[in-house]
Each structure stands twice: as structure tokens, then as C-alpha cells.
Structure 1
């Protein structure tokens, strides 16, 4: 009986410590995600504009609002996080948008292993 009480006590302490470490990890991950959503909009404003995804036949728009970047599709508006100096990442759908060197009118669009070039749509103004 004494051994059973000792084993139960050890298991109880182990479960408590595992629970505490998981809670702490969740807090750290949440803090990391908040800092990652901050985008250096001054360096990445060349992303802003409308782009045509030919394969899906719809337009995507990248906008800057309150020091954050968003991608707007016909279906949703999602936040973009900065992956590196030339790439923005949309985490919920796994989309990467990368600047193409020497081509300011296109982005490299990557999603789940699929890769294509999306071209900037020039706005049409009435004369």
C-alpha cells in the first residue's frame, strides 16, 4: 500500500510538471507568433498591388494597413508575415509570395509544392 501511494504521488507530480511545461510552451509560441506578424512594411511596400493568378482565374491584392500586410482574395483577407527579406508568408493556407529579382511586376507564388509566377495587374483608368 505504501508503494502504491508513492507511485501515485510521483505520477501526480509528473502530470503536473508536464502540464506546466506545455502551458509555458504555448505562451512562448504565442509570443513568437505575435512578433513574427510584424512586417517591415517600409522595405516590403513593393509587394503592394493587385496580381492575377491565371491558373485559378482570380485576382489577389496585397495591401498595407496599420504596419501590417494582408493578402485579399475573393474568399478571404489574411495577414502576411515576413519570412525573410524578400518573402511574405500566409500561414493559414501555406502561401509564400517572393519578390523576383529584376522583375517588379511579378511575384513567385508557392503553395504546398505548387509554384507559379503571378503578374501584377495594371489598373485601368478611364480617359
Structure 2
């Protein structure tokens, strides 16, 4: 079932922005697609250790509906599907960069660990 894109009513701009990035994995999907430009589903899943197939599928569908992600299906056997950021998705990722910098500072300040996605995906 395809649901309509979310469209408010919103209290403020932060409310509208958080509406499209809510969920643990959406920001990380944006980051992964920005870093690699184009990813197939399995590549995304390997790049996001801990995400379930169901959750990744759900978030990608929502992000496509919100105009953040482009899904390209190739008419091949076996079928091939690739995901990339739209211009709208790239601008959202740029808007989230200061939040990411704040998070890096928090990690440093608290001495938290950072997951090495290269090792985690093996």
C-alpha cells in the first residue's frame, strides 16, 4: 500500500524536517547514499550494520515518497534496482551536516565508541 506523502500541519520548520528524517535509519541512509552516490539494496544493507531488510525497505519507500531518494529499476534478469539521492535529498543531507558535526563533538566529549562500518559489514 502506497501512502500519500506527509504534508503537515506543522508547528515549525524543524517539525517539517523531522517528519521526513524520523526513524533511526533515514539519516544514515542519506549519509550512505551521499558517500557512494548510487547503491543497490544489498550494498545499502551492508553499509548499515544492524538494519533489518524490512526496516530498510520501509524507510527507502518513505524516502522515495518524500522525494529524497530516487529508485531506478533496470529491466534485466535478474532485476537490478539502484538507489540514489535526489536533489531534494542532497539539500537535506547538507542541512544535516551541522547536526552531524555536533554529534561528532558529542562523541569526542563523552568518549563514546564509533562503529567501523567496514569491519561491521564483514
State the TM-score, normalized to the length of structure 1.
Answer: 0.23
Structure number with greater CO (CA < 8 Å, separation at least 6) is 2
Structure whose alpha-carbon radius of gyration is higher: 1
